[in-house]
Structure 1
Amino acid sequence: MDAAERRAGTASTGESDSTGLPPGDFGVVLATLRARRGWSVREAARRANVSEGQICNLESGLRNPSPAVAAACDEAFGADGELAELAGSGRRDTRDDNIAESGPVIAGYERILGELKDIGRSTGPRFVTASIRSIIRILTDTGRRAVGEQRAEIWLLASKFAEYTGWMAQEAGNSAEALRWTNLAVRWGAEGGDETVAAYALTRKAFIAQHRGDTGAAIGFADQADHHPAANPVIRAHAARRAALGHARRGDAGACRDALERFRGHAAEDIGGRPPHWGPRIGNGGSQLLEATCLLHLGRFGPAADLFASACGPAIPSDGNSGARFAVRRATALAGIGRLDDACGIVDATLPAIRLIDSATLRAELARFVEEARPRSAGPGRLALIDASAALAAR
């Protein structure tokens, strides 16, 4: 197991106090352990010397493990007997023609999705994609067998996994796959009775278009999301963010300012404090950081640098995807006002995280830094760092 896999294996939350295993019954725990290691169903089946169908049936709750299969899974995951013991302590009521009681399955996979997002933020798409796709296969297979409320719950959960898979495809630099998974999230969300995913998906399409460099399409999708009948204040705030960034990239300061005001207004409406159903919390891209990024795109480097410093504080937030992203933006603003030593210091501290996460969106931010820093007067040390940044951005 390499360092990145160890990081993925330990980037988990909510473990039980009395055991090294995460909470849940055998199937949920098995899926969680597999997700933490980034193993596909095929890889887990190979290591345990069982069939892929057995792994899928265990994780979805369609089957309980036999003692032999439980022991094989325990050995494959190095659970020191705890997984085998769990198999005998709590067994689900299962039926051949339908899913078992969906509550534990839904709660377990919701928790797994949260863990996968934590892992993805710190290690990048390559360490979570196999697990996500395997879980989607299990959920969609199970959803086709389910009926009534269980069916709706499972398809809605599949939609959440598909939406995150779209994010990871975008982070891997595959816009076509990102759009395909986003469209699947809309379809499966409708199967689950939730139309808000269709509104949120428009903000995702705006981001994908923005990443492709199609600013006009990005603004258009953002406007559609803002006017979608199922949009709530959180979705409208995300739409206003995309619109503000799009107008800033176009150099339209007035339209950007109007979109920023809409963002602040919608963010103020979101007073419940609960995690949003779709998308990140508004606080993960708060007003100051959004305004600073817009100023950066408008070429107003001094005010952007001041706002980034105010929002981020004295520390260099280089760990994790969002921290690395804002760190590089801050460095770009500093390079723009000639503070190349400070800018290179931030990038130098951030490059290890960018190498580990291997994100297309992060590499695009790094390319923007190189574009701004390259023309500046630089000594050998700075030039070496800029060259290293350019090489990493071009991967």
Structure 2
Amino acid sequence: MSEFGIEMRRRRMRRELSLAALADRVHYDKGYLSKIETGRLPANRRLASLVDVELEAEGELVALVPQESRRRSSPETPTADDAEGGEPDWGRELAAFGEALSVPLTMRPTAGWGEADDLRLLTHYWEEFDRHRRLSQQLPPELVLRRLIVDFNTLMELVQTSRSTTSRLRLLAARYAEFIGWMCQEAGRLDLALAWTRRTANLATRAEAADLAAYTLVREAELALYEGDPATAMELAAQVLEDPRAQARSRGLAAHRQAQAFAVRGDHAACLNSLDHARDLLHPERIAQGAQSAGEPVVGSATVGGLDNAIAGWCHYDLGRPRRASEFLADALERTPAEAHRSRALFGARLALAYEASGELEEMRAVTLQVLRDAGLVHSAGADAELRGLSRALMRHHNIKALRELRSSLDEALVGVR
């Protein structure tokens, strides 16, 4: 017998709970649970979290199942210019592309150019940035990245030629770099996402944007969670929470990452404390005290309705409380705009998982069909990962024709996905 199986049986017997009753509560087959108890099958963390809650083990059963650990991606090696603090020739590749098409794309200082012209360019590219963010909710990341890279390279050339707004241009370029990192993550390239996130930190530091530099650690914490490394995620989030230069929103988002890391580790109390802390930090009054410059978009998601509830639902699912998770996630999804396909695909997929785990199969099927429509438009690596988990969960319902067909649709949608 495995250590998990022995402890699961001991706690079940102490609570005078039959295997059939436990199976009914966690919506797993009795025979499957029997094989877990006898060590004939290994327990996974999803089952462990559900059993942990039902047997009131307070995370001790979850701790007996090793966390799946994946190697952190190594970011690209900085160039010599990056390491020495100089400005690389960001426009070189863009200019080479233009020359190949006989198009003049090389930037050069203009004698009659003044501060008003620089400000006009700033306004234009901030508006473009907001437009890119909206498009990212409706298009595949590869399409959005093509537009972002051109704008980013142009901005870095403007940093070199500007006479009056260098710092503000560099800050804008940093926001583009951070967004490029997120699109790389959505395209399934966590290595590039980490590289661009660290490039953001470099640019933000040069622009004396301390809050944005701190926020890059929130992004790194998110990437660590995606790579199965909650310990690193907690460490990075703690750095932001302790940074006096970080504004309330960045610290609130750091508390969200901290809560998610605690949830993965099965630490109920710490997770709920972090969620409460995040809710306090993200209160509108706290946010207003350290508001960003007028016209500057907020860091983090601007499309998820009720972000606190979305993250709380995410955490409760990992904590083995799928019914409570579905309540939070359903509320967040209801408040997320219909055109925000990327956000709806990600949190909708987790809502479907929560419905499946709590035995609400009709609700799960309806949500999954909508998620497939949303995910098909935007190609989200995050949503795809959730859908792969849902496909595995649906194997337990092979005797229900509608769910067999649903799983077939899921698998078709995931063909070729990394």
User: TM-score, normalising length from structure 1?
Assistant: 0.73
Conserved? CA contact 1:41–1:131, under 8 Å = no
Conserved? CA contact 2:174–2:204, under 8 Å = yes
Tell me whether 1:382 sits opposite 2:403 in the alignment: yes
Partner of 2:206: 191
Partner of 2:256: 241
- Distance in 2 (CA, whole Å) between partners of 1:368 and 1:357 is 19
Residue by residue, what CA displacement relative to the aligned partner does 1:181-204 show, whole Å, maximum 9, x if unpaired? Answer: 111111111222212122100000
- Distance in 1 (CA, whole Å) between partners of 2:116 and 2:226 is 42
Conserved? CA contact 2:329–2:351, under 8 Å = yes
Aligned residues: 318
Conserved? CA contact 1:302–1:334, under 8 Å = yes
Partner of 2:287: 270
Partner amino acid for 2:369? D
Q: Secondary structure at the match of 2:138?
A: helix
Residue by residue, what CA displacement relative to the aligned partner does 1:269-316 show, whole Å, maximum 9, x if unpaired? Answer: 114677654323496552222211111111111111223334444999
Q: Secondary structure at the match of 2:396?
A: coil
Q: How do 1:167-182 and structure 2 match up within 5 A?
A: 167-182=182-197
Match of 1:203 among 218, 240, 246: 218
**How far off is 1:228 after superposition?**
1.9
Residue by residue, what CA displacement relative to the aligned partner does 1:4-35 show, whole Å, maximum 9, x if unpaired? Answer: xxxxxxxxxxxxxxxxxxxxxxxxxxxxxxxx
Residue by residue, what CA displacement relative to the aligned partner does 1:344-377 show, whole Å, maximum 9, x if unpaired? Answer: 2211122122122111111112122223332135
Conserved? CA contact 1:318–1:349, under 8 Å = no
Partner amino acid for 1:95? A
Q: Secondary structure at the match of 2:235?
A: helix
Partner of 1:305: 326
Question: Unpaired segments of 5 or more residues in structure 2?
Answer: 1-92
**How far off is 1:254 after superposition?**
0.8
Q: Secondary structure at the match of 1:387?
A: helix
Partner amino acid for 1:388? S
Over aligned residues, Cα RMSD in angstroms? 3.0
Q: Secondary structure at the match of 1:245?
A: helix
What is the percent sequence identity of the aligned residues? 24
- Distance in 2 (CA, whole Å) between partners of 1:137 and 1:171 is 21
Partner of 1:164: 179
Q: Secondary structure at the match of 1:278?
A: coil
Conserved? CA contact 1:125–1:168, under 8 Å = yes
Q: How do 1:274-353 and structure 2 match up within 5 A?
A: 277-281=298-302, 284=305, 286-313=307-334, 319-353=340-374
Q: Structure 1 pair 309/177, CA: closer, same or farther in 2 (3 Å)?
A: closer
Partner amino acid for 2:122? I
Conserved? CA contact 1:125–1:169, under 8 Å = yes
Q: Structure 1 pair 317/335, CA: closer, same or farther in 2 (3 Å)?
A: farther
Q: How do 1:243-262 and structure 2 match up within 5 A?
A: 243-262=258-277
- Distance in 1 (CA, whole Å) between partners of 2:339 and 2:154 is 35
Conserved? CA contact 1:171–1:359, under 8 Å = yes
Residue by residue, what CA displacement relative to the aligned partner does 1:10-62 show, whole Å, maximum 9, x if unpaired? Answer: xxxxxxxxxxxxxxxxxxxxxxxxxxxxxx96899699x641xx2454xxxx5
| Deviation larger for 283-292 or 333-342 | 283-292
Q: How do 1:66-77 and structure 2 match up within 5 A?
A: none
Q: How do 1:81-160 and structure 2 match up within 5 A?
A: 94-95=110-111, 101-147=117-163, 149-160=164-175
Tell me whether 1:218 sits opposite 2:239 in the alignment: no
- Distance in 2 (CA, whole Å) between partners of 1:194 and 1:123 is 30
Q: Secondary structure at the match of 1:375?
A: helix
Partner amino acid for 1:133? I
Conserved? CA contact 2:333–2:344, under 8 Å = no
Conserved? CA contact 2:305–2:336, under 8 Å = no
